[in-house]
Amino acid sequence: MFRAGSAGSKVQKLVSRTGPGPASRPETDGKARLAQIVLPLDKILTGDCVEAMRALPEASVDLVFADPPYNLQLEGGLTRPDQSQVDAVDDDWDKFASFADYDRFTRYWLTAARRAMKPDATIFVIGSYHNIFRVGAILQDLGFWILNDIVWRKANPMPNFRGRRFTNAHETLIWASKSASAKNYTFNYEALKAGNEDRQMRSDWFFPICTGAERLKDEAGRKTHPTQKPEALLARILMAASRPGDVVLDPFFGSGTTGAVAKKLGRHFIGCERDPIYIEAARARIAATGPIHGGAFSTPPGKRQETRVAFASLVEAAMIAPGTLLFDEKRRHQAMVRADGALALGDIVGSIHKIGALAQGLPACNGWTFWHFDCEGERICIDDLRGQYREIAKTCQGA
Ligand SMILES: C[S@@+](CC[C@H](N)C(=O)[O-])C[C@H]1O[C@@H](n2cnc3c(N)ncnc32)[C@H](O)[C@@H]1O
């Protein structure tokens, strides 16, 4: 049985579902078959996640983040060289009778999560060497399509106390779409790149494990949850693969990291958790979390979504005069703007991209960012002109 406990805002979302109606009902009236189901937004569903996810409307969530039991199989307590006990994960929720048992559980929850995913939703599953290979194979068996595996390298991993293995200093995230045919999944490529020194975001991430003020503790100073994930990790995931207002499902909510970060970043969450102590801690944590300013997380339009502008349009709009000399940033190459919007490099005529590539002897070049010109002693990139052109075009369309 599931109780839906409110853990944040009281928002509810209506989801339209057009599934087959009962056999006795005539199929004549399409509207009668349209069932409207309330999505339990910003709530923690108490109980087993498989049952909870099965009760969610089909195709209703935009992103899943799952931090399932790792099946660590710890034999006996783990001690440091000074014989003090290591605070390792030895909780019942992480214990399975066998690999087969773990695989069965993994298949159940992944199937239930997949059903709840919209066609273009994606899923991140985090795990360690104990479970992630099993999870990866099952993801593929169930029809998910793996997009990346991401290594979260820990800045401050726990040492290997026995000195019998390498320090286990990373965890792996698998990012997958619902199926191979899902092509319109959310990936905020441009925003991630802009925040990464204008370089593509890579699949190796570096964050400290959750420590300090962020770590939830009980009155006795003990960790509330043994595997609380750092908020920075969740923020990276949500900023990469969701948009404001999206619904993020976390089947293994634990201390509520996903909920806290979703609230901060203007996303909705649905959490599943069966331990009442963790649920209480997560509720208090989320209630104490405030959203950050909307402008700080709104998704900028991706370059591909922006209107295409031909270089010739800038010439036609008299934003750059024919005969203007263009240079690269270091002034190693030079080409001339032609009246038809092409560039001339000696006798060769071509697009800003083709001439940029040719000048450098490269197979390709983004001419917009490569070429610059001098204007009243200032060097201006033609991409800035393109930006101005877009602004003017938007104003004209609005007028
Ligand atoms: C690895 S922890 C998740 C920690 C979480 N990401 C965080 O940052 O706090 C896994 C959680 O899943 C819960 N859990 C395990 N099996 C479950 C199930 N079948 N249904 C619901 N919750 C479950 C456990 O109680 C535990 O809190």
pTM of the complete model? 0.73
Tell me, in angstroms, the distance from the centre of ligand 1 to residue 254's CA.
5
Tell me, in angstroms, the distance from the centre of ligand 1 to residue 252's CA.
4
Q: How far apart are CA 124 and CA 173, in angstroms?
A: 6
**Nearest-CA neighbor of 128 among 73, 46, 180?**
73
Instruction: Give the length of the chain.
Output: 399
398: Cβ–Cβ under 8 A, 6 or more apart, which residues? none
Tell me, in angstroms, the distance from the centre of ligand 1 to residue 250's CA.
9
- The pLDDT of residue 161 is 83
- For tokens 């002034």, name the residue: 331
- The pLDDT of residue 261 is 97
- The pLDDT of residue 250 is 98
Q: Which of 274, 285, 286, 289 to mutate to test the pocket of ligand 1 (most atoms within 8 A of CB)?
A: 274
- The pLDDT of residue 197 is 79
Residues with CB under 6 A from ligand 1: 48-49, 67, 69, 93, 225, 227-229, 252, 254-255, 257, 272-275, 278
pLDDT in tens, the chain (399 residues): 444 544 544 445 655 443 333 333 444 344 434 444 689 999 999 999 999 999 999 999 999 999 999 988 666 555 666 666 656 666 788 789 899 999 999 999 999 999 999 999 999 999 999 999 999 999 999 999 999 999 999 988 988 888 899 999 999 999 999 999 999 999 999 999 888 878 899 999 999 999 999 999 999 999 999 999 999 999 999 999 999 999 999 999 999 999 999 999 999 999 999 999 999 999 999 999 998 887 777 766 666 667 788 999 999 888 999 999 999 999 999 999 999 999 999 999 999 999 999 999 999 999 999 999 999 888 999 999 998 998 888 777 655
Q: Are 354 and 360 in contact (CB under 8 A)?
A: no
User: In the structure encoding, which two tokens stand for residue 360, read together?
Assistant: 């450098």
- The pLDDT of residue 390 is 87
- The pLDDT of residue 22 is 36
156: Cβ–Cβ under 8 A, 6 or more apart, which residues? 208, 209, 211
Alpha helices for 27-128 (secondary structure H):
49-54, 99-116
CA angle 62, 19, 247 (to 5 degrees): 15
